[in-house]
Amino acid sequence: MVWRYDGHLFHVMGWRNGTLIATLWRHVVFGWPIAITFVSANFSTRVSMLVFSQMSIAAFAAMTLIMPWVMVAGTIGMQWAQATGIIVAQLLGEKRGEATLDRFLGSSWRMGFIAAGMVAAIYMVLCLLPDVLYPQLGVETRAYLSSFTLVLFVLPFPKQSNAICGNTLRASGDTIYVMHIFVWSQWLFRVPATALAVLVFDVHPVWVLSLMFWEELLKFPLFHWRLWRGDWKQSNVST
C-alpha cells in the first residue's frame, strides 16, 4: 500500500540527502540511539519495580505510590529540556555563533532550575501531605512517604541540569554519547544497586529511592564535562 500510494516519493527531487532512501537512513542512524535510551529507561524502571515487590507491604506501597509521581511531575523539567534542545538545534542550523548559544543556554538553565523547583514543590506536597490524595493510607506507609522528602526535594535539580546537557548534546548530533551515559548508568549502577539494596541488604526504602539521586550525580560530570568542552558548538546540523 505504501508503494501504491506513495511510491512516487522515491523519484521526487530535493530530498535532504539526495534520495528518499538516503534521507530515511540518515534519520534512522540519528534516531536509534535516542530510541534505545527511552526503551532502556522503560525497561530498567520496570525491572526496578519488580525488585520493589520483594519489600515489605508498606514499603512497596510507598514506592508504588511515589514512582508514578516522580515520572509525571518530572515531565515538567523534561519538557523544558527538550524544548531547549530544539532551539539549540535551530541556533546551530542558523550558525548563530558561540556567544548566542552560551547566552541562550544560560537563560535556559535559569528557567530550568525554576522548573525543577516546581517539581520539588509537587513532591513536597505528596510526601508531607499524602492524605490530600490518599486519605486511606496506613500509618507505616505514610511514614515511608514522609521519609522520601529530602531525597525528592534535591533530586529534580541535578536531574534537570543533566537533562539540559543531554538534550543539547543530542541537538548537536552527539546522540551515541548521550545514549551510553543513560544506558550504562541504568544497567551498571541503578538496577544492580537496587537489587542489592532490596534483596541482599534489606535497607530502608529511602535509601532505595535515593539511588535515583546517586544515578543523577554519577551522570552529572559526564554530561557537564562534554558540554563544557564546547565541541558541540561547531556541529554542522544542516548536513
The per-residue pLDDT for range 158-201, each reduced to its tens digit, is 999 999 999 999 999 899 999 999 999 999 999 999 999 999 99
Give the span between the Cα atoms of 89 and 83, in whole angstroms: 10
What is the domain count for the chain? Answer: 1
In a domain, 131, yes or no: yes
Task: Identify any residues that bridge with 15 across adjacent strands, giving them in sequence order.
Answer: 18
| Chain mean pLDDT for the chain | 92
Residue 74 vs residues 63, 68, 119, 157, 163: alpha-carbon distances, Å: 16, 10, 6, 11, 11
In a domain, 16, yes or no: no
In a domain, 5, yes or no: no
pTM of the shown model: 0.89
Task: Identify any residues that bridge with 48 across adjacent strands, giving them in sequence order.
Answer: none
**Closest C-alpha to 163, from 98, 224, 72:** 224
In a domain, 25, yes or no: no
Q: What is the pLDDT of residues 69-122, one digit of tens each?
A: 998 898 999 999 999 999 999 999 999 889 999 999 999 999 999 999 999 999
Contact at 8 Å (CB) between 58 and 144?
A: yes
Q: Whose grid coordinates read 505510590?
A: 65
In a domain, 125, yes or no: yes
